[in-house]
Structure 1
Amino acid sequence: MRSENKPTGQRSFIEEARRTQIIASAIEVLAESGWAGASLANIAKHAGISKGVISYHFAGKDELMEEVVDQVYAQIAEYVLAKMEGEKSATELLRTHVLAVAEHMRGNRNRLKAIGEIFHNLRGPDGGARYGPQTNEEIYQALELVYKLGQDTGEFRPFDRRVMAVTHSAAVDAMFTYWVVIPGHDLDAHARELADLLERAVK
């Protein structure tokens, strides 16, 4: 049985380190060469390993790409949740979410470029996009909790929380898409304006 089938807790330190190395190389190759250039052979060359080592740890390119997305999103969540910890009001939580995710990604442009390539190119078994609104449910639910808190405490007006969560998530995605394409764009200023806009929308 190949190691990628083992639960994380059963992998050795060396196996985890190798998987992390492969994922990091996949991110860099995707960012530099795009989807078409991100073959397993090119990723292996970047990592300084054989293609067979990647095949030992991952069933194929699709599984590796899914691991890239999972890792990037896990790192975003860890950073943002740490920033939100201790915030009391829904308004503070709302603003902190937008500002913190921008702050984190400002130093991780290649990760944004990499997952953008994956989102636009990776297909599911039915031929449709592997990622999209159908895979954002956890994000929508987490944002809905913030909006529910605001409504319960009277900070926020009545509104459809799902509509606001979808709009919030889409606006953050659009902010990053624009920043990746326009490198000189002020991401922090954009995040502040977006936080102001969302706050005004819910008060």
Structure 2
Amino acid sequence: MGRTFTESARRAQIVQGAIEALAEVGYAKTSFAKIAKQAGLSSTGMISYHFAGKDDLMREVAGEVMRVSQAYMLPRIEQAEGFRGRLRAYIESNIELLAVYPKHLAALLEVLPNMRGDDPSWAGYHQSLRSVMDVLQQRMAQAQALGEFREFDTWVMITAVRGAIDAVVTRWHTEPDLDVARLATELADLFDRATRREP
């Protein structure tokens, strides 16, 4: 049986409260009391009613961040022109998330290291990331076949792209005033030069 609109809205309210708490005080200090305060709830009982425990709620936080990220990035990537444009949009939209959804990304960076290896959300997150990288590899190979990209090992290139994005995200976590827009442009320019076929 599905959740009612009211139940879904309450869960979303709690998840948003958890995101704000995680971004503000970190994973260790994010208690149900802190989440209830952030979510504007009178007691922690409402959280316990909707979630089986902290792990259950943290899984939902990770899922929500991934949903928000995908909803922001996909339209930008799909609207870009050509393979070079889509690669640029992928890099820039990944890093733009830091400015558009700073609390969401900060929360995810708190949650992921605290998920156990056997946690289905941990496996789901990495499977989702792996799927995205597989698609990007396929697109790069198509761009090479059509002559838009030069010849290179697509796995090496997409691993370098992902590593560079992750490095920016990690640095931003300790330097929140980082000029992410400038870094997004620099990385996009760097990988455009690294992948394009020269005339």
- CA displacement 1:113-171 (0-9 Å, x = unmatched): 11111122222338xx9467566212212322331231121111222323322221221
Q: Report which stretch shifted further, 151-160 or 13-22.
A: 151-160
* Aligned residue in 1 for 2:171: 178
- Residue identity matched to 1:201: A
The 3 A distance-change label for structure 1 pair 76 and 125 is closer
Contact conserved, 2:98 with 2:180, CA < 8 A, in 1? Answer: no
Which aligned segments of 4 or more residues in structure 1 are displaced greater than 3 angstroms?
129-135
Structure 1: 5+ residue runs without aligned partners?
1-5
* Aligned residue in 1 for 2:33: 41
Distance 1:188 1:202 in 2: 21
* Aligned residue in 1 for 2:16: 24
Q: Report which stretch shifted further, 67-76 or 95-104.
A: 95-104
Contact conserved, 1:105 with 1:112, CA < 8 A, in 2? Answer: yes
**Structure 1 residues 1-203: aligned runs within 5 Å:** 10-49=2-41, 50-125=43-118, 130=122, 136-203=129-196
Distance 1:144 1:71 in 2: 26
The 3 A distance-change label for structure 1 pair 86 and 109 is closer
Percent of matched pairs sharing the same residue: 40
The CA deviation at 1:48 is 3.0
- Residue identity matched to 1:18: R
- CA displacement 1:69-89 (0-9 Å, x = unmatched): 111111111111111223231
Distance 2:170 2:135 in 1: 22
Distance 1:112 1:104 in 2: 8
Q: Report which stretch shifted further, 193-202 or 101-110.
A: 101-110
For CA contacts below 8 A with separation 6 or more, give which structure has more relative contact order.
2
Contact conserved, 1:94 with 1:146, CA < 8 A, in 2? Answer: no
Distance 1:67 1:161 in 2: 33
Distance 1:169 1:146 in 2: 15
> Does the residue aligned with 1:118 lie in a helix, a strand or coil?
helix
Distance 2:174 2:166 in 1: 13
Contact conserved, 1:98 with 1:172, CA < 8 A, in 2? Answer: yes
The CA deviation at 1:98 is 1.3
Distance 1:134 1:16 in 2: 26
Structure 2: 5+ residue runs without aligned partners?
none
